[in-house]
Copies of this chain bind each other. A is one copy, B any other.
Amino acid sequence: MVGALIMKFVIQIDASPHEAQAANTAYQFIKAALANGHHILLVFFYYDGVCNAQVSSFAGKDDLSGRWSALAREHGLDLVLCVSAAQRRGLVSAEGKDQGLLAPGFRIGGLGQWVDACLKADRILTFTS
Contacts and interface: CB of A to CB of B under 8 A. Distances in A.
Interface residues of A, number: 23
Interface of A is mostly: loop
A109 B19 CA distance: 21
Contacts of A94: 57-59
Interface stretch (A25-33, A34-42, A83-91, A113-121): A83-91
A90 B54 contact: yes
A13 interface: no
Nearest to A16: B48
Interface in A12-67: 16, 18-19, 47-48, 51, 54-59, 65
Interface of A: 16, 18-19, 47-48, 51, 54-59, 65, 87-94, 99, 101
17 contacts: A16-B48, A18-B89, A19-B47, A19-B48, A54-B89, A54-B90, A54-B91, A56-B89, A56-B90, A57-B90, A57-B92, A57-B94, A58-B87, A58-B88, A59-B94, A90-B101, A101-B101
